[in-house]
Amino acid sequence: GESVGLHLPTLSVQEGDNSIINCAYSNSASDYFIWYKQESGKGPQFIIDIRSNMDKRQGQRVTVLLNKTVKHLSLQIAATQPGDSAVYFCAEIAASNTGKLIFGQGTTLQVKP
């Protein structure tokens, strides 16, 4: 079946360090992946996305890496700041499953001052 999972429920990092949040998926037909950030009591906020024809994409302070061979997705946050503290979700969708985004459980990122 389809599943999207995150390796760690909570990640604690020191302010200024780099953070790496990992995600595994099982549907090899998935061709579009998104990372969302959710702060307490708010809706998820789009961070960055990547399509399956790419293996890396960079944004402002964030990089997403996609390894289709092992069905692994990661989000790297450079110079982590207190404002980065939130729950991070990865989500996947297959072209054949238009509109049905499948979300992982989420990883809580805690930034220590």
Partner 1 sequence: DGGITQSPKYLFRKEGQNVTLSCEQNLNHDAMYWYRQDPGQGLRLIYYSQIVNDFQKGDIAEGYSVSREKKESFPLTVTSAQKNPTAFYLCASANPRRGQNEKLFFGSGTQLSVL
Interaction site with partner 1 (CB under 8 A): 4, 31-32, 34, 36, 41-46, 49, 89, 93, 95, 98-101, 103-106
Work out the angle at residue 98's Cα, subtended by the Cα atoms of residues 92 and 100, and round it to the nearest 5 degrees.
50
Length of the chain: 113
Q: At 83, phi and psi to the nearest 5? A: -70, -10
Residue closer to partner 1 (CB basis): 19 or 106: 106
Closest CB to partner 1 among residues 88, 111? 88
Whose Cβ is closer to partner 1: residue 24's or residue 101's?
A: 101
